[in-house]
Chain A
């Protein structure tokens, strides 16, 4: 009886490890399929979507600068000095956000080649490889 029992548990164990492996594979496949593409870029990162995104970023940054500048000028009666300063800062912020978008896009473009394919999620932020840990 003993050897047979041993045999059975061995077979059982090997089947279990096999099942384990297959489960892991299936899970990895599913994770890869479910993974949102675009990552830090936020959804659609090609064509019109990206263009609109960058355009809105620029306009928003400059607009916030101009509004703050005009408000400060009106409050302190220093027109047009604060407007000039904050317009410049707004432009700087706009450049900054476009630069960041471009860097994230570049990182996302380069990443799929370097990764092993199981985590090709195009997550262009600095914390690469975090997607696998869960």
Chain B
């Protein structure tokens, strides 16, 4: 019986070494490539028909599109359109990473904090650059809440700055923690089934329920990651 932590192991598939740097193609990279491929084929394949009355797959693709389009419109507002492709890519990549990870025996790349942190860092740095390019020095007003007396700036600006800097971490940790905890829980509960014999039916029922919950969490967390990116983008575009 494999331990509950073995599912998170990164194993190299093709060893690649460039000047002492380990750039191996791992199972993590393989699942990332697979997620991107599945998304691409899902969207291209489902929209091939372009029927006025959509088939099931087509309406799934359209629903995904509209979900993200509404999210961008409601949370970023005017000026959010140019960023839609990025937001949509982010959402579908995380969503399929989470969902593919729920296939028994697969690897969940979103359960590695370095992966989620890399995505959060790209969002954070990108949004900060957009804000600075758009507003120049006025971007710094983001760190002083409107209507605050000037003398409170001494304490408020550092606090706001810290809260701004902690964003990518909370974004990364939220997704990573949810995925890791869910997969650990599944594995631990599954470990009880066989040793308990007939009474293993009890954890088995629990496992089914937890699995259903995990599917929900996989979708919600992809949604949360994207919507928070949208809210941060809105702040950078419109300040307060």
Rounded to whole Å, the gap between the CB of A20 and the closest CB of chain B is: 20
> CA A41 – CA B81 in complex, angstroms?
21
Contact-residue bracket for chain A: 35 or more
Nearest chain A residue, comparing its CB with the CB of B222: A43
**B39 contacts chain A at the CB level, 8 A cutoff:** no
CB atoms of A52 and B177 under 8 A apart: yes
Nearest chain B residue, comparing its CB with the CB of A40: B231
Q: What residues on B are CB-neighbors of A65 within 8 Å? A: 162, 166
> CA A64 – CA B163 in complex, angstroms?
9
CB atoms of A34 and B73 under 8 A apart: no
**A90 contacts chain B at the CB level, 8 A cutoff:** yes
> CA A45 – CA B71 in complex, angstroms?
16
In the complex where A36-B67, A57-B170, A130-B74 touch, is A93 in contact with B224 (Cβ < 8 A)?
Answer: no
Which residues of B119-176 have CB atoms within 8 Å of chain A's CB atoms? 155, 158-160, 162-163, 165-167, 169-170, 173-174
CB atoms of A125 and B231 under 8 A apart: yes
| B contact residues, total (Cβ < 8 Å) | 32
Q: What residues on B are CB-neighbors of A134 within 8 Å? A: 73
Nearest chain A residue, comparing its CB with the CB of B223: A43
Q: What residues on B are CB-neighbors of A131 within 8 Å? A: 73-74
CB atoms of A64 and B162 under 8 A apart: yes
CB atoms of B75 and A39 under 8 A apart: yes
Q: Which residues of B are interface residues toward A (Cβ below 8 A)?
A: 66-67, 70-71, 73-75, 77, 155, 158-160, 162-163, 165-167, 169-170, 173-174, 177-178, 220-221, 223-224, 227-228, 231, 234, 240
B159 touches which of A31, A39, A96 (Cβ 8 Å):
A96
Closest 8 CB pairs of A and B: A60-B170, A93-B163, A93-B162, A92-B159, A60-B169, A61-B166, A43-B224, A64-B166
Q: What residues on B are CB-neighbors of A34 within 8 Å? A: 66-67, 70
Q: What residues on B are CB-neighbors of A130 within 8 Å? A: 74, 77
CB atoms of A39 and B74 under 8 A apart: yes
> CA A93 – CA B167 in complex, angstroms?
10
B224 touches which of A35, A44, A57 (Cβ 8 Å):
A44
Which residues of A94-134 have CB atoms within 8 Å of chain B's CB atoms? 94, 96-97, 121, 123, 125-127, 130-131, 134
Interface centre among A42, A63, A64, A94 (most CB of B within 10 A): A42
> CA A64 – CA B66 in complex, angstroms?
36
Rounded to whole Å, the gap between the CB of B162 and the closest CB of chain A is: 4
